[in-house]
Structure 1
Amino acid sequence: MSSLQNDVILAVDGLSVDIATQRGTLHAVRDISFEVKRGETLCLVGESGCGKSMTSLAIMDLLPKGATRRARRLAFAGEDLSRAGARRINALRGDRMAMIFQEPMTALNPAYTIGNQLVEAYRLHRKASEAEARERAVHLLGKVGIASAGERLGQYPHQLSGGLRQRVMIAMALMCGPDLLIADEPTTALDVTIQAQILRLLADLQRELGIAMVLITHDLGVVARIADRVAVMYAGQIVEEGPTAALFGNPRHPYTRGLIDCIPVPGRTQPGGKLGVIPGVVPSLVGDVRGCSFRDRCAFAREACAAAPPVHRAPDGQSWRCILENAA
């Protein structure tokens, strides 16, 4: 893991995202707060539909139509993005703030060559010539492990495999040398071998360039290998957050414990043995959402869970939102 510096690149305080639907307001993200320092990797984990991707889109100001963002403070390198205008956001996005989108098969434009898509943002933000931008693109394609990088610039996305397209997406995000990189499920739909290569590549680049990274995933195995800190999301909230070793060694929230129990452990999980399960499904977040959202699936639930649970903090840096002081 990377060595951390003291400066905070991203500070999120009280971020909420609401989406208007025919059935009422969907509270996709509910009052979440976290920080990411330069050189640090924070992983957002949780089941599908818990608000991870919506959080990343809110930070980048790329929310879909009908969605609204609120935050007490949303600061990038000390600048409050929640009060910045569209012109300033456009100047930062793709330059000092970059994102690797979830699906490389559709994130790249099939009508343009790889070269055209790589150089566009660099020329816009750096006012560089076509030759300078293409030289930068070739350099980064080589850095992310793509052979014959110069020839790749003339190819179209459909001519590349899924693993190569994912590497192109990483190179594209790094073109302007960002301070913050958000990677939304960067290994989705890739086989295990390519997944390991991409994760190792991201970790190496992050360490080499000192980038602050927010990695979104539902794979706790990925988290254990790459994260400095982990934020566990459930039903639009962060229910537990802390250093990776502390969170895996002593999960405090019942949901976190349930996720970890679902993972097979070499040497401890017997072949053919049963893994842990979390019964039920994530609740609807349309309309009023009160109390602990996990209580209908929790083995420790009691009447007090109908009220908003308190937030506990431990000396090891962990914090969790539950009436229990420990799920163990």
Structure 2
Amino acid sequence: MEPLLQVRDLKVDFKLRTNTLHAVRGMSFEVREGETLCIVGESGCGKSMTSLALMDLLPRAATRSVGAMRFGEVDLTDRRAVRRVRGNEMAMIFQEPMTALNPAFPIGDQMTEAYIHHTGATGSAARARAVEMLNEVGIASPEKRLGQYPHQLSGGLRQRVMIAMALMTSPKLLIADEPTTALDVTIQAQILRLLRDLQQRLGIAIVFITHDLGLVSRIADRIVVMYAGARVEEGSAAEIFGAPRHPYTQALIDCIPQPGKSERGAPLGTIPGVVPSLMGDVRGCAFRSRCPVAQPICADAVPLRAEGGHVWACIHGAEKDETERAPA
């Protein structure tokens, strides 16, 4: 089966006065129908820029280049084609609903605008659809909510409105950019459960962007780990959590307290050092200044290793795995 979304060698650059900032450096991945792909990494690693590049919503200062980027039969490098599927077959939940929702318009107007544009529905039909979707995401008194403004809703309700708005046109692909940021743990669990239930009932593919591996472990089918604008590892959830090959992936996992393994009161894991500057060319492994197993060869071109669908960019991994399996 052909992937629903294919991305090859995606790059996003910002040309500054004296140099160029390489925000995304050669990202490649695929998403299949009904699958949840999680893109994870520290803040500033290029996750949100990747999602905005897919939707052709990058800031004006950004320049996008790509080897290939397709959604089904649609070439996403064709801006006219993108306008036909954006907000229709491809939808996005933005990172902060309070800033993504327009404070000057009621919820109903914002929910129906794209639906009317893409389907040609009447205003009354669009509002009926909005009521249906607010019901779908578990919002009580949906008719009343349509007349309210974003500031009149709690954070959890605003996030549910964003999800309902994205689902208005029954998209095939939903891009969720940090949809649980700034929400308390209870609301986070509700939003995750909602997305999972909607996916199972509607067959939607989801690209879930987050820095929280705890969330990822609960929803991911496959995971892409990003560092300094590039993909450093990709694999199934079982491969990433059960047998991580890149030192950065292992370091992220070590930062998560594990029930039954982490000692009570013990310090949490940390990754020493700082993320390197993405100004100018980044040579070799960008993680080598923070890596506990770095070698001089890491300053050279990084090899891309693969075992089935498990891919990682590191000189280590395969040798380590063979060493661990040798006694057996």
TM-score after normalising by structure 2: 0.96
Q: In the TM superposition, what is the alpha-carbon distance from 1:13 to its structure 2 partner?
A: 0.5
Q: In the TM superposition, what is the alpha-carbon distance from 1:275 to its structure 2 partner?
A: 2.4
Instruction: After superposing the two structures, state which structure 1 stretch, 274-283 or 120-129, moved more.
Output: 274-283
Separation (CA, whole Å) in 2 of partners of 1:306 and 1:270? 36
Partner deviation per Cα, 1:114-150 (whole Å, 9 max, x = no partner): 0000000000000000111001000000010100001
**Is structure 2 residue 72 aligned with structure 1 residue 80?**
no
Q: In the TM superposition, what is the alpha-carbon distance from 1:281 to its structure 2 partner?
A: 1.1
Separation (CA, whole Å) in 2 of partners of 1:160 and 1:277? 36
Q: In the TM superposition, what is the alpha-carbon distance from 1:42 to its structure 2 partner?
A: 0.2
Aligned twin of 2:259 = 266
Aligned runs of 1:135-154 on 2, under 5 Å? 135-154=128-147
Aligned twin of 1:126 = 119
Instruction: Give 1:36's match in structure 2, choosing from 26, 31, 34.
Output: 31
**Is structure 2 residue 112 aligned with structure 1 residue 111?**
no
Q: Which amino acid aligns with 2:81?
A: R
SS at match of 2:28: strand
**Is structure 2 residue 244 aligned with structure 1 residue 251?**
yes
Separation (CA, whole Å) in 2 of partners of 1:325 and 1:229? 19
- Checking the alignment, whether the CA contact within 8 Å between 2:75 and 2:81 is kept in structure 1 is no
Q: In the TM superposition, what is the alpha-carbon distance from 1:52 to its structure 2 partner?
A: 0.2
Aligned twin of 2:325 = none
When the two chains are superposed, the root-mean-square deviation of aligned CA atoms in Å is: 1.0
Aligned twin of 1:53 = 48
**Structure 2 portions without partners, runs of 5+:** 322-328
Instruction: Give 2:197's match in structure 1, choosing from 191, 204, 214.
Output: 204
**Is structure 2 residue 315 aligned with structure 1 residue 323?**
yes
Q: Which amino acid aligns with 1:197?
A: Q
Aligned twin of 2:326 = none
SS at match of 2:109: helix
Separation (CA, whole Å) in 1 of partners of 2:314 and 2:265? 33
Stretches of 4+ aligned residues off by more than 2 angstroms: 325-328
Q: In the TM superposition, what is the alpha-carbon distance from 1:66 to its structure 2 partner?
A: 1.1
Aligned twin of 1:3 = none
Partner deviation per Cα, 1:271-324 (whole Å, 9 max, x = no partner): 101222110111001111111000000011111001111011113x21100011
Separation (CA, whole Å) in 2 of partners of 1:210 and 1:90? 23
Q: Which amino acid aligns with 2:100?
A: A
Separation (CA, whole Å) in 1 of partners of 2:61 and 2:103? 27
Aligned twin of 2:220 = 227
Instruction: Give 1:306's match in structure 2, choosing from 261, 284, 299.
Output: 299
Separation (CA, whole Å) in 2 of partners of 1:180 and 1:127? 21
- Checking the alignment, whether the CA contact within 8 Å between 1:43 and 1:227 is kept in structure 2 is yes
- Checking the alignment, whether the CA contact within 8 Å between 2:74 and 2:81 is kept in structure 1 is no
- Checking the alignment, whether the CA contact within 8 Å between 1:23 and 1:286 is kept in structure 2 is no
Separation (CA, whole Å) in 2 of partners of 1:88 and 1:318? 32
Aligned twin of 2:275 = 282
**Is structure 2 residue 153 aligned with structure 1 residue 160?**
yes
Partner deviation per Cα, 1:47-100 (whole Å, 9 max, x = no partner): 000000000000000000110111110000132211x1x332211110011000
Aligned runs of 1:57-76 on 2, under 5 Å? 57-76=52-71
Q: Which amino acid aligns with 1:20?
A: K
Separation (CA, whole Å) in 2 of partners of 1:100 and 1:171? 9
**Structure 1 portions without partners, runs of 5+:** 1-5
- Checking the alignment, whether the CA contact within 8 Å between 2:129 and 2:168 is kept in structure 1 is yes
Partner deviation per Cα, 1:166-214 (whole Å, 9 max, x = no partner): 0000000000011111000000010000000001101111111111110
Separation (CA, whole Å) in 1 of partners of 2:200 and 2:231? 26
Separation (CA, whole Å) in 2 of partners of 1:123 and 1:21? 39
**Is structure 2 residue 188 aligned with structure 1 residue 195?**
yes
